[in-house]
Amino acid sequence: MRASERRAAIERELRLTGKVNVAELARAMATSPISIRRDLNTLVERGVARRIHGGAIAVGQRQPTPPTPRPRPVRRPGAEGTPTTIGLLVPSARYYYAGVLDGVKAAAAQTRVRVVLAVSGYSQAEERSQIQRLVQRGVDAIVATPAQVARDDAATYDLLRDLPLPVVLMERDGGDEYALLDSVRSDHAYGARMAFGRLAGAGHRAVMLVCAEDTATSAWLHAGFEARRELFDPARTERMAIPSAPEYAPELRTRIDEVLDRCAELGVTGAVVHPDVAAILMAQRARERGIDIPRELEIIAYDDEVAALADPPLDAIAPPKHEVGRLALRLAIERARTSPTGALPRHIALPPSLVLRGMGLRDESGAGHETGAIL
């Protein structure tokens, strides 16, 4: 759907109901919340709408009373010798989250708190059950990474928002609807802007974003890609989705071949690929076609879990996983021990780093460094 068509549909909805919600519009129109917010800003400039928390109302409608911070009881564990206990909910303890958990463990060791780990296995029902179990166990705060983003799983975010104890979202952002929840996450949109800025600085004009579908990271990567699209030839710049599947899955290999076919059609010479196991597979399949990596196709992997092990090693965007885990736990401890009732939420977005491993981009120490990136 074109932007003009979206705005016309939003304007019709405003005339009919008087109010629209960003998350609901994004879901209904299969687009990103940032695109909807841009549409609403355009309608505001035209005098059609007025922005409110989480969406907009038609001009002439009364603006609802904004939500107030939900009071939480003051909890000061440790005052009577009771150790602080933090509940930690993650969808997995492997791959990406292994680095995050390392940061949590480091912070726990420094602060001498107890962490109780719960793993949901990407099951929404299981994670809600685990949240209830942590509360019943008597933890003093919860650090949570829901399996889905807020717009796809309001029930879990509602549960977290309404708990009678501090909650810190980790590697998630509650958006407008859950802005009262603290959050610590990687700024993946910035990471994507950095990657495509690097490709533009290296002279690429035909590029592609290859992104695993239906992941919490994908919407941010799409936003970063769109913010840099103007640097490239619009007729030869695209984004393509790939299955969120193991690297050995036949459907992923088939889709990677389709991506390479499309790259050949468009003359693409640079790509950002998420996750980096898919980037390695794409590099392998490209070499089988006789494509020189990186001279004919420069690939930047996103996540940097195993990109250094590719042949040749791939440049990568490395999210600050360790620091995200460390800061999320420290914030949860601070909230549990000292936060006053109605404290303002804190939203922390940490920038990833660009790791360059090309032979021509190494200094005398052998360490990669950033060069030619448009940030």
pLDDT digits (tens, 9 = 90+) for 148-167: 999 888 999 999 999 999 99
CA dihedral of 304, 306, 308, 309, whole degrees rounded to 10: -170
pLDDT at 132: 95
pLDDT at 346: 93
Token pair recorded at residue 204: 């690429």
Question: How many CB atoms neighbour CB 182 within 10 A?
Answer: 24
Cα–Cα distances in angstroms (integers) from residue 43 to residues 81, 263, 329, 342, in the given order: 57, 37, 41, 34
Closest CA to 21 of 175, 169, 182: 175
Question: Mean pLDDT highest for which of 27-31, 41-45, 70-74, 231-235?
Answer: 231-235
pLDDT digits (tens, 9 = 90+) for 255-291: 999 999 999 999 999 999 999 999 999 999 999 999 9
pLDDT at 370: 42
Determine the Cα–Cα distance for residues 104 and 115; give it in Å rounded to an integer: 9
Token pair recorded at residue 78: 């440790």
pLDDT reading at 331 higher than 90? yes
pLDDT digits (tens, 9 = 90+) for 165-218: 999 999 999 888 899 999 999 999 999 999 999 999 999 999 999 999 878 899
pTM: 0.74
pLDDT at 362: 35
Question: Who wins on pLDDT, 345 or 59?
Answer: 345
Region 335-344: what's the mean pLDDT? 77
Before 320, cis peptide (omega within 30)? no
Token pair recorded at residue 263: 């790259």
Determine the Cα–Cα distance for residues 308 and 93; give it in Å rounded to an integer: 22
pLDDT reading at 63 higher than 60? no
pLDDT at 167: 96
Q: Tell me the β-bridge partners of 270.
A: 207, 298
Determine the Cα–Cα distance for residues 272 and 259; give it in Å rounded to an integer: 12
pLDDT at 99: 94
Determine the Cα–Cα distance for residues 339 and 76; give it in Å rounded to an integer: 9
Question: Mean pLDDT highest for which of 19-28, 30-39, 308-317, 318-327?
Answer: 318-327
Quick one: how far is CA 179 from the chain centroid?
A: 16
The pLDDT mean for the chain works out to 86
pLDDT at 1: 62
Cα–Cα distances in angstroms (integers) from residue 254 to residues 240, 241, 243, 279, 305, in the given order: 13, 12, 10, 14, 23
